[in-house]
Each structure stands twice: as C-alpha cells, then as structure tokens.
Amino acid sequence: MPFVPHTDEDIEAMLATIGVASIQDLFDEIPSDLRVGELDAIPAGMPEMDIARLMQARARVDGQPLCFIGAGAYDHHIPAAVWQLATRGEFYSAYTPYQAEASQGTLQLLYEFQSMMTALTGLDVSNASLYDGASALAEAVLMAVRSNRKTKSTKVLVPAALHPAYRRTVHGIVGTQGIELVEVPFDPEGGHTRVERLEAVAGGEEFAAVVVNQPNFFGILEPVDDLTDWAHAHQALVIAVVNPVALALLSPPGDWGALGADLACGEAQPLGMPLASGGPYAGFLCCQRQWVRQLPGRVVGRTLDLDGKPGFTLTLQAREQHIRRGKATSNICTNQGLLVTAATIHMAMLGGEGLARVASTCHANTRQLAGMLCEIPGVEPLFDRPVFHEQALRLPAPPAELLRSLAERNVLGGFDLGPDYPTLDPALLICATELRTEDEMRGYADELARIIATRTQPKRPVETKFSGRMR
Amino acid sequence: MLIHDQSRPGRRARAQAPRQAPAMTEIPEDLRRRAPPPLPAVSEMQVVRHYTRLSQQNFSIDTHFYPLGSCTMKYNPRACNSLAMLPGFLARHPLAPDSHGQGVLACLHELQEMLKAVTGMHAVSLAPAAGAQGEFAGVAMIRAYHLAQGDQGRTEILVPDAAHGTNPASAVMCGFTVREIPTGGDGDVDLAALEAMVGPQTAGIMLTNPSTVGVFERNIGPIAARVHEAGGLLYYDGANLNAILGKVRPGDMGFDVIHMNLHKTFSTPHGGGGPGAGPVGVCERLEPYLPVPLVAFDGETYEWQTERQRPDSIGWLTAFGGNMGILLRAYVYARMLGREGMVRVSEFATLNANYLLARLRAAGFEAAYPARRASHEFIITLKREARELGVSAMDFAKRLLDYGYHAPTTYFPLLVPECLLIEPTESETKEDLDGFVEAMIAIRREAEEDPEKVKGAPHDQPVRRLDEVRAARQLDLAWKPSTGSEKGDG
C-alpha cells in the first residue's frame, strides 16, 4: 500500500481501540446510496520505477528546443544551489507559518524576500507574494480602487502595450466586481504609451488608477516619469508593472515622477524559477507605506519575543480572509512560498551587481540578435524607441508559418504578435537572454534567412507528427 | 541574523553572473537607476549556509508529525518532486507550441480524466492556482450560469457559519452577498434555518463535506434537493476530499461545481504556504463556463483549448494557465496510488483519525461531537482544562512544539470554544499517533502541576512567544540600508 504504513497487527489493534469490527464501519454515517463502487476509469497503481520510466519518456518527448520566446517568461540561468536548498524538506514540506515559533526559517526568509523586493522597487512595503504576475496586477487594481479616496471612479486606465495575458486575466478577476478597464493605445511609431494618448482617452473623466508597465509588452521603455506625473495630477494612483531583473538597471517605481508609483507588481519568475510550461511562478506586490492596510496577501513583520529577542511573525492579519471572512482585502489564502524561497536565494546569490550583469547581458544579446535578423531582407524593427531585452520585428511573411518551420528545426523563434495586435501583423517579438550564445543566435538567423528565402519556391511539405499550433 | 547583515561591499558569488557587463549606452540616462539595488553582497557559501540554517528553524512534514486540521499534511513523496523537475518539463516555455509539449499535455489530460472519475464530475479544468482561486472560479461560474439563464435576481450565496474564511471572501469577490447558515448541535447544517433562507434570491450554497467540524453532513441529500428545487446551485469545497476519496463522490452527492486542493488530497508540497493548485470540476450544465485553458485530446494529439474554442469561459485566472509543475506532482502521486490506493487514502486517514480520537477520549479529553464518527479529522475542546487549570488551547498547542509535534489547528472553527482541530492523515504510523497522545497527557499533567510551564511555552524553539501586537503596531516589514531596519507606525 503506497504511503500507508499500517501492518495487519496495527489495523487490528486500532479497530479494537475504536470498538468497531472493520474500517468500513467507520463510514457508517454516510448514506449507503452515496457510496461509490469501482473506480474503473482510474488506472491501477504503479511503483516508483514504472512511473519514473513513463515520466522520463514524456519529458524527452517535449525536447529542449532553443528558446527565443520571452513574452512574460524568461529563460535565465538558475544557480544550482537555488533548488537544492528550496527543495530541502524543511522548506518544501512546511505549512503556512501560522505557528511562528516553529516556522522561523520560513518567516525570516519571507521577511528577507520582502526586503529585497522593496530594494528593487524602491517602495516601502512588499507582501510575501501572490499567484503570478497577472493575478498580482488584478489584486493591485482592486487595491488601488479600494485605496483611492479622492475619486469614486471604478475605472482604470490600462495601456494596450500591456501583456495581453495580463489584460485578459485582470479582466476575468476584477470584471465580476464592477471595475472597468479602459485601454490606452500605443504610439504606432514608437510603440510606447504617450501622455497625450492618456489625456485623449481620459477625456476629462476621473480614473482610480493608471497602469504603467516598464518595459512594456513590446520590450519598449516607457516614459514612466511623465505618465506617473500625469496620473497624480489627475487624482489617479499609479500601478507599476515591472520586470524584477530589469529593475537592476532601470529607475525603480518608487522614484518615478515627482511622487513615485503608488503600487508596483509583476512576475517574479525571472528570479530563479524554471519556465515549466507556465508555473508555478510567483507574483509580487509592493506599495507605499500609506496603502499598507489595503495590501492583500501574507505579510511578515519583525518583532520581539517574551525575552526581548527578535523574531518574525505573520502580521496585519486583520486584513485577511481567515479573520475578516467576507470583508477581507482578498480571498487569497496561500502565497507562493516555495517559489519565494527560490527567488530569495536567487537574489541573495546574484546580488545587485550580478542581477545588473544579467540584465545588461540580456539587453546586449537581444540587440545583437535583432541586428542579425534585420540583415535578412524584409525584416526590420517595428518601433524606433529603446528596448530592454525584447524587440518587436516586422517580418516579410506570416509569423505563424515561419515559426512552424523553425519549430520543426527545434528553434522557438519568438512570439507572434498578430493574433493579439492585428494592426501590427506580420510581426514577431523576440528575446535572447544571457543564456543564448552568439552561435545559437547566428544559427537562428541563418535558419530564418533560409526559410524566408525558400518559401517563395514550391517545396514538399515537411512531415510532422504534431500540429504545432501556437496558442 | 539576516542575510543583509552578512553583506560586504565588493563581495559576491562570482560563478553565478555573466562574466562581463556590456555597456548600456542605448538606454536613456533618465530611465536608468541611479545606484545598484541594495541587495545583499555575499559569497555563494554564505548563501548556502544561511539558508540551510534557516531551514533548520522550521517544522515540516519531513521532520515532524504535523496534525494540522483542515490542511492534510501527509507525506509528500519525493518521486513526485524529482519527476516533475525533469529537465524536459522545466525547460518548456509556456508559449511553446503544443507540438513541443505533448509529454506534459498527456500528463495533464490524464490528470483531468482521473479527477473527473474520482469526483464524479462531468468536466475538470486544472487552471486555478490555489484552492481560493478555485473557489473564485467556481462561484464565478455559478454567476455566469445564472446570468446566461437571464436570472438576474440571484444575489445571495449561503455559507455555513463554520466554513473556511475563503468561502465568504470568494463569494464577495464575485459580487454576491453572503448569508451564514447556523450549524446544529450535532454538527450538521440546521435544516430549519436553511429552509428559511433558501429562495429565488439564492444563487447557490457552498458546503464542505465532511464539514469543517470533522463530521459527514448526513443531510446532504435533502439539502441538495431543497437548493436545486429553489433554482440554486451546490458548490463543494474540496478541502476535506481526503476523507472520502474513492468512497463518496461530490458529483453523486448532487454538487454542481467543486474545487479540489491538490496540495492536500494529492500530496503536493505546502512549501511554507504555497504554491497550491485548485482544479475545478463541474456538472454538464456548467461546462461551457470552465476557466481556460483545458487540455483536449482527439485520440492522437493533445492541445490546449482557450477562449477561442470555449467562448463562454469565465476566462483566464493567471497569465499562463496554472501551476503546471504542481499538477505534474499530483499526476505522479495519483498514478502511484492508482484506484486501489485512492480508496485506501480515505480509509486509513479515517482509521487514524478515529483511533486518535478514541485514545484521546479514553485519556479524558472531551470530543466536541462525541456522538459522531470522526471523518479524517476531529475536534477536541479544552474548555474544561481552560476553566479548571487556566490553560488554553493555544497553551497546549505551543507546548506540543516542545514535545516535537506541530500544533493542531487552534480556534477554528470558531463555534467550538478552546478547540483543537486534529488531522493525522493516512501516512502516520500508529507509534506516532501513540506518541502524540502521550504528549497530550503529559502536557495536561504539567498544566495541573506547573501551569506556568505550559502557559510560557514554547521553551525549546528558536524563539519564545512573539509580541504580535507590537508586530502589527510598530510595523517592521523590511530591512533598510540606512537604519538597519525600518521602524514606524504604518
């Protein structure tokens, strides 16, 4: 019996202590017509060696293609120590630290995470994480609407140059609560969000908050100071959506404009989390001190014990669902503890300088790759403004078709912008992190050049086992 | 000591960053950071030593019996972790084409199918990232269903007073008003009170079964019939699914929508508070509203289905569709258990709980519901000890830590005074359960002979009881470089 340690003698002795004849008798309060028969649809159990064989075969099937996709999840180096430490049983198999005295390890680590996130964002307070970047933005939007007492508006200005997956997630989560997201178009030449556009879309109406993302979905650096000042001049709070690796180089949200962003959120995946088909990752949410009572999620504080010794505990729990139930700031119960463990160790390992080197290498690699790709006739930059570590390119052929051909050669060439931004079609968003070598980038460029050159000539279709559709 | 306190300018883990930092001439000066972020500057060995030592200040399933009621702290098989972390799974980008994900998609599709079978639901989505997100999705589907029927008047969700706090919080997030139903003296829902509350304004009812007081809701049949008759839907909170896995299926009990906590019943790690995974299952009429993505299989190829194939979906809950690595761990666990193993989970979880309850009662502790069988968990009330000895449930809980046992859940549910909610799970041995009983007896003896020892507990942990009022009033939430620590009254 997997993971059940009982011997026949144990079972007999335990039943005798309870005073029943069989284990089935323990279920006698359940109406008999509700009991299930055989679970035929579920396969028989497997020993570890068999499931290991199956999983190894399936992991091999997925291959390890050369990845030039970014679009919200980034292929970074993760120090070996990060997951060796994070999967120590004492971190891996511990519960939420309600019993503080028996959870000082997790609690201190969360406090250190909060400290590192406030260092990166330049804000006063961080929570101990949310599910992912997109759901963190949804919570930030709810928090901003709750916090902004200067206006009754439940509308929020959101740039069209924000990640489409973030826009649809936020819509799904806040839409049930009567909050309206109003889109601000990006500049067709620069790819950035201009204050004039905000002004035009707002049309004199009040908004609870303005979302400002840095870099934006196209990798473009936004004029964050101007956008922040415009929002504050119009009684709106500023929600920054930021990449934590980029923050090693770029101005932190706390320094934006005259007053700084009010909230900053984003995806912590670039801090030591494997791509893993999309999760688990971790969202972060930081804020200026004045909004802390509206912050959702776990927060750890440093305090003193009975002997006056410093220690750590969950705090501000009066905001949370297990105390306030229907009046809580959010229904969130967990954080992403294990991922935060990895992120904290990752940040400690790299430090400020290491993270800045990662960021600048990603920037340089992406620029180098873009340069190589733009040597191909018909390929050119889509926008003329500076980027961080992603770049949008105009292509001479439908991206879906080119990407399919590349994938057959085990290269994931980027993200097709067409389905989410029809006016930009045919366009591709590329990313080359610090892991991509010059040879790999050259190989990608040569492959794409060959595919583009030959696609005008008729050719035999390549046999593939699977359909290869981008979602 | 914080990692920050070990920092020295100029020190770093040199093996971990790219060798050179290229010049950043293309990034305009006004968008750059003025100084590098004040992260710790430490060596690789300092990092390893620091976090190894921190880990040693935790209780965990791998080191301690963890009878935390409603949390199902069972053994997390190591194979689930190592097989979910195979390089081919970890390296896959979320936006990689389905052609380069047939392995992971096969696992996820089979997990969907197994969860359908074991819960008796018509369809399952793996998208919610945690139980609370599963609740949100479930209630959002109830809302979507009623609106699609043109039924705008259903504004209320009924929730038992003993329910998890996430239930009312999730209902409010979906725009509903919450009405609390009282629990009867025998632990079952008060049917007369329910009758008075159900009506054309009822969107649905959220129930946990076995309930949060650790007993099976015997009136589930009549409750389901009454709520359905009034046009409402039944929501099953799967927090206690471990108690009935393979024995009773929520679908057979009449539930229309459920969430499952895979980090409980399917043994994925709690990780110090997450990540979880909270798949949702639905009956046929709610299927169109399931959150996306779902894995479809045409007999040859697996593919993700999104809002393009499922236009009535309530949508996306995270950017990339869920906690895949956790789902893979649950898949490995489910395959190792198989159909026989799943039934044994509930049988031995229930055996362990009833045995522990019988032994604690024989030792003179008072059960909150003495006439009832325990499910996979049960409540004892220490109100007599509190009255006669002045020692509270909290004191017992803290003293248990010194005996090497993680404390049970205390003061939940709130309707039982001085309660301990105890859930031993199926993976504990009889010897461990006996050891816990002996510790409880020893602590009561201490409470009689030397109550201050119990009231001052814990004594042998890294810290003693912490000043939580100070923590909330003098907020110190982050280390700051200038002052060493941030102080103030937030």
Domain boundaries, chain A: 66-76+351-454, 80-345
- Which residue in B27, B174, B398 is closest to A249 by CB distance? B27
Q: Which strand ranges, in their side-by-side order, compose the sheet holding B409-410?
A: B366-367, B378-381, B419-422, B409-410
Check CB contact under 8 Å for B472 and A2.
no
Closest Cα in chain A, distance from residue B370 (Å): 13
- Which residue in A61, A79, A173 is closest to B16 by CB distance? A79
Taking the CB of residue A45, how many other CB atoms lie within 10 A of it? 19
User: Taking CB atoms and an 8 Å cutoff, what residues of chain B touch A52?
Assistant: 79, 83
A16 touching B (Cβ < 8 Å): no
User: With a CB-CB cutoff of 8 Å, which residues 357-416 of chain A face chain B?
Assistant: 357-358, 360-361, 363-364, 367, 386-388, 403-404, 407, 412, 415
Inter-chain CB pairs, A–B, below 8 Å: 712
pLDDT band at A14 (very low <50, low <70, confident <90, very high): very high
Q: Is pLDDT of A468 > 50?
A: no
- Which residue in A36, A169, A250 is closest to B32 by CB distance? A250
User: Taking CB atoms and an 8 Å cutoff, what residues of chain A touch B75?
Assistant: 3
Check CB contact under 8 Å for B315 and A172.
yes
User: Taking CB atoms and an 8 Å cutoff, what residues of chain A touch B93?
Assistant: 67, 69, 73, 75, 275, 277, 412
Provide the token pair at A225: 């100071």
**What is the DSSP secondary structure assignment for residue B58, as one 8-state letter?**
B
- Mean pLDDT value of segment A438-456: 95
Q: What is the pLDDT along chain B (490 residues), one digit of tens a residue?
A: 999 999 999 999 989 999 877 877 789 999 999 988 999 999 999 999 999 999 999 999 999 999 999 999 999 999 999 999 999 999 999 999 999 999 999 999 999 999 999 999 999 999 999 999 999 999 999 999 999 999 999 999 999 998 988 999 999 999 999 999 999 999 999 999 999 999 999 999 999 999 999 999 999 999 999 999 999 999 999 999 999 999 999 999 999 999 999 999 999 999 999 999 999 999 999 999 999 999 999 999 999 999 999 999 999 999 999 999 999 999 999 999 999 999 999 999 999 999 999 999 999 999 999 999 999 999 999 999 999 999 999 999 999 999 999 999 999 888 899 999 999 999 999 999 999 999 999 999 999 999 999 999 999 999 999 999 999 999 999 998 765 444 433 3
Question: From CA B464, how far away is CA A308, in angstroms rounded?
Answer: 9
Q: pTM for the complete prediction?
A: 0.96
Q: CA dist A263 to A304, A316, B37, Å?
A: 29, 18, 18
Q: Which residue of A has its CA nearest to B112?
A: A42
Question: From CA B351, how far away is CA A26, in angstroms rounded?
Answer: 7
3-state secondary structure of B282: strand
User: Taking CB atoms and an 8 Å cutoff, what residues of chain B touch A368?
Assistant: none
Question: From CA A280, how far away is CA A272, in angstroms rounded?
Answer: 12
Check CB contact under 8 Å for A46 and B336.
yes
User: With a CB-CB cutoff of 8 Å, which residues 40-99 of chain A face chain B?
Assistant: 40-48, 51-52, 54-65, 67, 69, 71-73, 75, 77, 79, 81, 83, 85, 87-97, 99
**pLDDT the model gives residue B253:** 96
pLDDT digits (tens, 9 = 90+) for A315-356: 998 877 777 777 777 888 778 999 999 999 999 999 999 999
Check CB contact under 8 Å for B169 and A331.
yes
Angle between helices B44-55 and A337-373 (to 10 degrees): 150
The CA angle A402-A405-A408, to the nearest 5 degrees, is 150
Question: From CA B477, how far away is CA B490, in angstroms rounded?
Answer: 10
Taking the CB of residue B125, how many other CB atoms lie within 10 A of it? 29
User: With a CB-CB cutoff of 8 Å, which residues 288-347 of chain A face chain B?
Assistant: 289, 292-293, 298-307, 309, 311-313, 315-318, 320-328, 330-341, 344-345, 347
Contact between A428 and A399 under an 8 Å Cβ cutoff? The reply is yes
Contact between B272 and A95 under an 8 Å Cβ cutoff? The reply is yes
Mutation choice for B interface testing from A84, A115, A406 by most B CBs within 10 A: A115
pLDDT band at A471 (very low <50, low <70, confident <90, very high): very low
**pLDDT the model gives residue A466:** 45
pLDDT digits (tens, 9 = 90+) for A169-205: 999 999 888 899 999 999 999 999 999 999 999 999 9
Domains of chain B: 3-49 (no CATH), 79-337 (3.40.640.10), 346-469 (3.90.1150.10)
Of A293, A341, A339, A340, the C-alpha closest to A320 is A293
**pLDDT the model gives residue B19:** 85
User: What percent of the residues of chain B are helix, what percent strand, and what percent coil, each to the nearest 5?
Assistant: 40, 10, 45
- Name the CA radius of gyration of chain A, rounded: 26
Name the one residue in this structure whose structure tokens are 């335990």: A14
A258 touching B (Cβ < 8 Å): no
Question: From CA B214, how far away is CA B412, in angstroms rounded?
Answer: 11
Check CB contact under 8 Å for A339 and B275.
yes
Question: From CA B198, how far away is CA B228, in angstroms rounded?
Answer: 10
Examine domains A66-76+351-454 and A80-345 and report if their fold is the same: no
Q: Which residue of A has its CA nearest to B313?
A: A172
Check CB contact under 8 Å for A334 and B132.
yes
Strand partners, B204: B157, B233
User: Taking CB atoms and an 8 Å cutoff, what residues of chain A touch B47?
Assistant: 81, 345, 348-349
- Which residue in A10, A333, A356 is closest to B21 by CB distance? A356
Q: CA dist A256 to A264, A284, B342, Å?
A: 11, 18, 54
HSE, side-chain direction, 13 A CA sphere, residue B393 = 22
Of B313, B273, B309, B14, the C-alpha closest to B137 is B313
Please give the helix or strand (H or E) that residue B350 lies within, else none.
Answer: helix B324-362
Q: Which residue of B has its CA nearest to A299?
A: B477
Contact between B62 and A92 under an 8 Å Cβ cutoff? The reply is yes
- Which residue in A255, A300, A326 is closest to B178 by CB distance? A326
3-state secondary structure of B421: strand
Question: From CA B315, how far away is CA B330, in angstroms rounded?
Answer: 24
**pLDDT the model gives residue B427:** 98
Check CB contact under 8 Å for B60 and A77.
no
Q: CA dist A285 to A297, A391, B396, B404, Å?
A: 9, 26, 36, 35
Question: From CA B68, how far away is CA B263, in angstroms rounded?
Answer: 14
**pLDDT the model gives residue A469:** 42
ipTM above 0.90, yes or no: yes
**pLDDT the model gives residue A457:** 64
User: Taking CB atoms and an 8 Å cutoff, what residues of chain B touch A13?
Assistant: 430
Provide the token pair at B385: 């000890």
Q: Is pLDDT of A416 > 90?
A: yes
A248 touching B (Cβ < 8 Å): yes
- Which residue in B316, B344, B398 is closest to A172 by CB distance? B316
Backbone angles phi, psi at A214, to 5 degrees: -140, 115
**Residue B197, Cα to own-chain centre: how many angstroms?**
29
pLDDT digits (tens, 9 = 90+) for A28-54: 999 999 988 788 899 999 999 999 999
pLDDT band at A278 (very low <50, low <70, confident <90, very high): very high
Angle between helices B430-449 and B324-362 (to 10 degrees): 60
Contact between B463 and A100 under an 8 Å Cβ cutoff? The reply is yes
Three-state SS annotation for chain A: CCCCCCCHHHHHHHHHHHCCCCHHHHHCCCCHHHECCCCCCCCCCCCHHHHHHHHHHHHHHCCCCEECCCCCCCCCCCCHHHHHHHCCHHHHCCCCCCCHHHEHHHHHHHHHHHHHHHHHHCCCEECCCECCHHHHHHHHHHHHHHHCCCCCCCEEEEECCCCHHHHHHHHHHHHHHCCEEEEECCCCCCCCCCHHHHHHHHCCCCCCEEEEEECCCCCECCCHHHHHHHHHHCCCEEEEEECCCHHHCECCHHHCCCCCCCEEEEECCCCCCCCHHHCCCCEEEEECHHHHHHCCCCCEEEEEECCCCEEEEECCHHHCHHHHHHHCCCCCCCCCHHHHHHHHHHHHHHHHHHHHHHHHHHHHHHHHHHHHHCCCCCCEECCCCCECCCEEEECCCCHHHHHHHHHHCCEECCEECCCCCHHHCCEEEECCCCCCCHHHHHHHHHHHHHHHHHCCCCCCCCCCCCCCCCC
A3 touching B (Cβ < 8 Å): yes
The hierarchical CATH code for the domain A80-345 is 3.40.640.10
The hierarchical CATH code for the domain A66-76+351-454 is 3.90.1150.10
**What per-residue string of b and e applies to B147-158 under the rule 16 or more CB within 10 Å gives b?**
eeeeeeebebbb
Of B271, B234, B237, B238, the C-alpha closest to B255 is B234
pLDDT band at A77 (very low <50, low <70, confident <90, very high): very high
